């Protein structure tokens, strides 16, 4: 069961889903609002009275409900009257103590300089951030069980100002219990975004809760600039190497669809992903024979799910050894870049730093374009 969950987790981050690129001013409500240029899952509106309205449009895949949160500065809280029925939560800002529920939330807090506000997290063993691990080891971040069944008693004892929730649907009864105790749950849907810069832009989502909007904008602008520069560099490559991806689970080969998050990375890295013409925005489920027929002679194999070595691959299935990328040692994985307690760093930091992911791919696929670069996530399979 653990291996199955691990495999599925790999696929979630590997594949993602399709999203349409936004017009770069489409979410700009007024001159005081944060401009959301790539993310499709949330909007931010700063009103003239000082209140900020955040709407989460896609907290999970196929969500049918929009969640609306009103952020009210503490200095005007006493003189503001809001209709509570219009909001899923009304939150006084800046908040002091929070709980987050996904490792993808950690880098944003760290970049914004607000990691010291984090007082609880489920499954802390999966956190790789050195700064966060230091706080965990000193007892400043409390272990809260697992995300599917949070330790409600521990949360009620902590009394955080709010919880940034991660959920795959609206059936989390623990969140309902927490909300009945007057602790707001704010859904974060960064994992649903399908473009690299769309995921990274969720750093702007956290910012208004801590009065850090300018800082978040500056951080994201640097990431965007770095990513677009790398993409432009990749476009200059003379060759466009062929690439396969994914691996098998119970004789079914799962790999990114042509409109998925991973496929977007490979496109921007100027690679010829052999399933780029498919319309799927999540994963494809294929027989190994069909993958062999198309990809046997691919030059590179990027992202073989959780596998960390050639021996693991071959032991799992002898079919893998038939691929040229296997025979030529051209398989690259994130499974060997681990944090202090064994967490895969790519799952935590990769969504926040797509520029590093893209540079890794360029370094691998176009030798010579980044001669002095040291890959951060993707390393040769052992």
Q: Which domains does the chain have, with CATH numbers?
A: 41-192 (3.40.50.1980), 234-380 (3.40.50.1980)
- Going residue by residue through the chain, which has 382 residues, state the pLDDT in tens, using 9 for 90 and above: 434 444 444 554 555 443 334 433 334 333 446 899 999 999 999 998 999 999 999 999 889 999 999 999 999 999 999 999 999 999 999 999 999 999 999 999 999 999 999 999 999 999 999 999 999 999 999 999 987 789 999 999 999 999 999 998 888 889 999 999 999 999 999 998 889 999 999 999 999 999 999 999 999 999 999 999 999 999 999 999 999 999 999 889 999 999 888 999 999 999 999 999 999 878 999 999 999 999 999 999 999 999 999 999 999 999 999 999 999 999 999 999 999 999 999 999 999 999 999 999 999 999 999 999 999 999 999 9
Q: What radius of gyration, in Å, describes the C-alpha atoms of the chain? A: 21
Helix, strand, coil fractions of the chain, as percent rounded to 5: 40, 20, 40
At 142, list the tokens.
């409390």
Q: Residue 25's pLDDT is what?
A: 36
Treating both helix axes as pointing N-terminal to C-terminal, what angle do 354-365 and 213-234 enclose, rounded to 10 degrees?
Answer: 10
Which residues touch 164 (CB under 8 Å, ≥6 apart)?
98, 99, 100, 101, 105, 186, 187, 188, 206
Q: Residue 33's pLDDT is what?
A: 64
Its pTM stands at 0.90
Q: Which helix (H) or strand (E) holds 91?
A: strand 89-93
């Amino acid at each position: 069961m653990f291996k199955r969950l691990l495999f599925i987790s790999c696929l979630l981050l590997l594949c993602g889903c399709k999203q349409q690129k936004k017009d770069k001013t489409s979410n700009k409500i007024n001159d005081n609002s944060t401009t959301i240029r790539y993310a499709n899952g949330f909007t931010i509106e700063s009103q003239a009275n000082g209140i900020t309205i955040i709407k989460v449009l896609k907290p999970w895949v196929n969500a049918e409900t929009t969640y609306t949160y009103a952020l009210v500065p503490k200095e005007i809280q006493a003189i503001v009257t809001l209709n509570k029925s219009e909001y899923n939560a009304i939150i006084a800002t800046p908040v002091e103590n929070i709980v987050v529920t996904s490792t993808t939330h950690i880098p944003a807090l760290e970049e914004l300089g607000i990691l010291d506000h984090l007082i609880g997290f489920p499954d802390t063993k999966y956190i790789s951030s050195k700064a966060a691990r230091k706080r965990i080891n000193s007892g400043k971040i409390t272990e809260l069980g697992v995300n599917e069944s949070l330790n409600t008693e521990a949360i009620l004892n902590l009394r955080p100002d709010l919880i940034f929730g991660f959920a795959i649907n609206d059936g989390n009864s623990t969140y309902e219990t927490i909300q009945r105790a007057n602790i707001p749950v704010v859904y974060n849907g960064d994992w649903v975004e399908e473009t690299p810069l769309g995921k990274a832009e969720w750093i702007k989502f956290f910012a208004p809760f801590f009065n850090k909007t300018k800082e978040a904008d500056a951080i994201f602008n640097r990431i965007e600039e770095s990513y677009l520069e790398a993409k432009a560099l990749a476009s200059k490559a003379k060759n466009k190497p062929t690439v396969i991806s994914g691996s098998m689970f119970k004789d079914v080969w799962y790999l990114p669809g042509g409109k998925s998050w991973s496929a977007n990375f490979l496109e921007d890295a100027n690679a010829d992903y052999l399933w780029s013409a498919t319309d799927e925005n999540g994963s494809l489920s294929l027989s190994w024979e069909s993958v062999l027929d198309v990809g046997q002679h691919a030059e590179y194999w990027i992202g073989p799910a959780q596998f960390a070595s050639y021996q693991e691959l071959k032991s799992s299935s002898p079919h893998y050894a038939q691929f040229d990328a296997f025979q030529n040692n051209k398989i690259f994985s994130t499974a060997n870049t681990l944090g202090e307690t064994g967490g895969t760093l790519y799952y935590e930091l990769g969504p926040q730093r797509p520029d590093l992911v893209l540079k890794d791919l360029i370094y691998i696929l176009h030798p010579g374009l980044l001669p002095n670069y040291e890959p951060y996530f993707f390393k040769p399979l052992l």
